[in-house]
Amino acid sequence: MLIREVLCGGRRLTLRPVQPVDVDGLETLFRTLSEDDRYRRFFTTICPSRRLLERFANTEADGGFRMVAVNEDGHIVAEAGFGPPAEGDAEFSVTVSPHWRGWLGPYLLNLLVEEAGQHGVKNLEAVILTANRTMLAVVAARGCAVIDHPDWTVVQIAIGVADGMPVWPGKARHPRLLVESPALADWSGTAAARAHGFTVIGCPISSAVRHRRCPALGGRACPLAAGADAIVVAQGIEDRSAAALLEAHRRLHGAVPVFLETATDGERPPWAPPGIPIIDRRRPAAERVAELAAAVSAISEE
């Protein structure tokens, strides 16, 4: 990474790779955060240990990357980085001092994506508290997929590096199920699908539409859809977007079966393209997933 000078509102920042001498500056940054901010960053209010900060300052020795933003007074006001890649994916984090929030977080994330591409990373991943709405808004605007939603407190997301689109993580096994849902919330059939052996990834299509991040709606193949064994367009997506999405998948990813989940007692909505199988959302999740698995199995045997 080249050293960058950024000027905003008359204030100058220097963005550069972290150095071993930055341990004290990192410690000051994290100590000046509020307890709530530290909890959002580390899932604890306790300041990180000196040993952890030394690891942060030597991230590249492990195959990762970390940068810092330094103000004109020589103080570190932000840090961002990712750890060593595993199967093509790397975990990232961003911390910004309160007085520098707004533009700097998204800017640092964009730089991380650029740097990740040079390190051969395919996805940048993060586990984010659902209460951390600022960070969730940043990744949603960037374009992300939901890898896991273990409970109501956290969500694990992935940001794509190549062309800004997430791909299936290296650890994702077949059969793979892509669920296009209205938001970052977990799909009601996720647990049942995983019990059936599916690897499930969710795409929050509403935010993708709002930020114009959906490749399929833009006429381009989607790597998640192309790499799936089945796609479910879940209930709750605005009708016009759902109809356009179904048609786009049929045109661009014709080899992948697509299902429409509704709460219309199995009846086809008037806007739904003909030939798209309907799944009744009001049925138990286990029954819906069993039907889905049987259909995918039958198609794979043809």
High-pLDDT (> 90) share of the chain, %: 64
Q: In the predicted model, is pLDDT for residue 29 greater than 80?
A: yes
* pTM summary value: 0.91
Q: In the predicted model, is pLDDT for residue 209 greater than 90?
A: no
User: What is the pLDDT of the chain when averaged over all its residues?
Assistant: 90
DSSP class of residue 121 equals -
Q: In the predicted model, is pLDDT for residue 205 greater than 80?
A: no
Beta bridge partners of residue 91, listed in sequence order: 125
| Res 208: pLDDT | 65
Question: How many whole angstroms separate alpha carbon 179 and alpha carbon 261?
Answer: 10
pLDDT, tens only, 171-194 = 889 999 999 988 777 788 999 999
Question: How many whole angstroms separate alpha carbon 169 and alpha carbon 174?
Answer: 12
Burial 15-43 (b: 16+ CB within 10 A, else e): bebbeeebbebbbebbeebeeebbbbbbe
| Res 199: pLDDT | 95
| Res 55: pLDDT | 93
| Res 236: pLDDT | 72
High-pLDDT (> 70) share of the chain, %: 94
DSSP class of residue 86 equals B
| Res 263: pLDDT | 77
Domains in the chain with CATH codes: 1-121 (3.40.630.30), 123-302 (3.40.50.2300)
pLDDT, tens only, 60-83 = 888 899 999 999 999 999 999 999
Q: In the predicted model, is pLDDT for residue 94 greater than 90?
A: yes
pLDDT, tens only, 221-271 = 999 999 999 999 986 766 778 888 999 999 999 999 999 998 776 678 888
